[in-house]
Amino acid sequence: METRLLKKSQLLSFIAGLMEQQAVFAPVKNGDFTQFQQINQADELDLESTHNTRYPPKALFQPQSEPLFEFRDGKFVSLLGEIQPRIIFGIRPCDVHALQLLDTVFNAEGAQDPYWLAKREKTTIITLGCEQPCSTCFCTSVGGSPFDRRGSDLLLTNMGDYFAFEVVTERGNALVQSMPVAADGQANDVKDMQTKAEASFPKAFDPTGIRDKLYQLFSSNYWKKMQESCLGCGVCTYLCPTCFCFDIVDEKQRNQRVRNWDTCMFRVYSQEASGHNPRPTKLERTRQRIMHKYAYWLDNINEIGCTGCGRCVRYCPVNLDIRWMIQTAQNWVEA
């Protein structure tokens, strides 16, 4: 499919045009923060931030708290309402690919999560590629890239005084018909920019064979070392765009059965009524998180369950760096 061009000066009116058709969600700056929010004016959009939002955009599909049912007259009434079509603008390739990974969980054959599916079907994704990495990015180490097209409807490249809109799907195509098509030369410039950018992304580790290595290390001292400084909070899992674990709880005071994000890092996550806990200490829980992302995901769909967005690296209160953990695993020799 083609590449179309938009002068930077015309971006806001393009966004305003989109807003007339559908709700637009984009990164919005609020103090120190950038967060995906519905914008009411085109100029609320913030694409200046050189790094990703803290809170992951997966929340737009799996809200942190989502009432599933209301309990009315002794019956469970679904609260899945009509989802209005919407556009997410300015999401990064790492977060978009994460949504595809989550699709394999929520949109599995024979077991489709209606709440997830309804939102996915009504959402158009306009992705902004990354021309430079920030200190915590490592998408290229986990099979991704800063201009990864997978899962996008349109992929934007910032070319300085204009944006290149690469059309990936028909849905994306429909939005850019009024833009001029890029000439061959221009399309090549875009390609060059992307190649250069990708090359500038540092390799944090070599993931080859990580699944086997982690299984080998299952009972080794490697985990004793890895879990030492972990506090067992939920920062890494809640900011992670590929984490999907949830809890279902009845909130009687609201008459609702609600789904909330949950985390394998908390002790009560796997605590059984009998008192038995298959993951009784931090060691088992740290091991579960890392093995899930870098071994079990590979077992199930042959892809690493981490897209290198770097949020866990940046916001871990004790700077427990997953890149260091994987590198250490690859090099670990049991004493």
Partner 1 sequence: MEHNQNLYEPIPMRIARVIQETNDGTLKSFELVFENPQDKDQFYSNYNVGQFCQLSIFGKGEAPFGIANAAWEGDFVRFTVQKMGSFTQAIHKMKAGDAIGMRGPLGNGFPVDEWHGKNLVIIGGGCAFSTLYALTKHVLHPPIRPQYNEMHVIYGARTSGMCIYKEDIASWYGRDDLKIYQAIDCPEDGWCYYTGFVPVVTKQIAPSPVNAVAVLCGPPAMVKYTLPVLTELGFAPDQIFTSLEKRMKCGVGKCGRCNIGPKYVCKHGPVFSLAELQELPEEL
Partner 2 sequence: MNNVLTAIQNEARRILQEGIVDVVVGFEAGTLQLKAQPFFMHKADDVDKLVWNGFCQNNLATYLTRLDKQQRIGIICRGCDSRAVRTLVMEHQYDREKLYLIGVPCTGIVDWRAVQRQTGEDILSAEEIGDEIVIATPQKKWKFSRAEMLHDSCKRCAHPNPVGVDITIGELLPEGDPQQAFTRTREFELKSAEDRYAYFQVEAERCIRCYACREACPMCYCSECFVDYTTPRWAESMITPSGTQAWHIIRAFHQAGRCVSCGACERACPMDIKMTYLTDKLNRDMLDLYGFDVGENDDKQPPFAAFSLDDRDRFVK
287 binding partner 2? (CB under 8 A): no
Nearest residue to 297 via CA among 142, 145, 93: 142
Cα torsion 155, 33, 244, 110 to 10°: value is -40
29 binding partner 2? (CB under 8 A): no
**Residue 137 binding partner per list partner 2, partner 1, none, with a CB distance cut-off of 5 to 8 Å that depends on partner kind:** none
73 binding partner 2? (CB under 8 A): no
Question: Applying CB under 8 A, which residues contact partner 1?
Answer: 68-69, 71, 74-76, 78, 80, 105-106, 108, 111-114, 215, 218-219, 244-250, 252, 257, 259, 262, 264, 269-274, 276, 278-279, 284, 288, 291-292, 295-297, 299-300
Residue holding tokens 């890494």? 236
Residue 239 CA to residue 229 CA, distance in Å, equals: 19
**Residue 317 binding partner per list partner 2, partner 1, none, with a CB distance cut-off of 5 to 8 Å that depends on partner kind:** partner 2
Q: Which of 206, 251, 255, 300 binds partner 2 (CB under 8 A)?
A: 251
* 122 backbone dihedrals φ, ψ, rounded to 5°: -95, 10
The pair of structure tokens assigned to 325 is 């953990």
50 binding partner 2? (CB under 8 A): yes
- Given a contact cutoff of 8 angstroms between Cβ atoms, the answer to whether 130 and 159 are in contact is no
> Which residues does 236 contact at the CB level (< 8 Å), separation at least 6?
265, 289, 311, 312, 315, 316, 322
Residue 249 CA to residue 168 CA, distance in Å, equals: 39
Number of residues that bind partner 2 (CB under 8 A): 43
> Of the listed pieces 90-98, 255-263, 286-294, 301-309, which binds partner 2 according to CB under 8 A?
255-263
Neighbouring C-beta atoms of residue 90, cutoff 10 Å: 22
Residue holding tokens 């400084």? 229
Q: Which of 229, 299, 300, 301 binds partner 2 (CB under 8 A)?
A: 229
Binding mask 184-223 for partner 2 (x = CB under 8 A): ----------------------------------------
Residue 30 CA to residue 26 CA, distance in Å, equals: 12
* 323 backbone dihedrals φ, ψ, rounded to 5°: -65, -40
**Residue 13 binding partner per list partner 1, partner 2, none, with a CB distance cut-off of 5 to 8 Å that depends on partner kind:** none
**Residue 279 binding partner per list partner 2, partner 1, none, with a CB distance cut-off of 5 to 8 Å that depends on partner kind:** partner 1
Residue 146 CA to residue 199 CA, distance in Å, equals: 10
238 binding partner 2? (CB under 8 A): yes
**Residue 274 binding partner per list partner 2, partner 1, none, with a CB distance cut-off of 5 to 8 Å that depends on partner kind:** partner 1
- Given a contact cutoff of 8 angstroms between Cβ atoms, the answer to whether 108 and 115 are in contact is no
Residue numbers at the binding site for partner 2 (CB under 8 A): 32-33, 50-51, 54-55, 64-65, 134-136, 228-229, 231-235, 238-239, 247, 249, 251-254, 258, 260, 263, 266-268, 282, 313-315, 317-321, 323-324
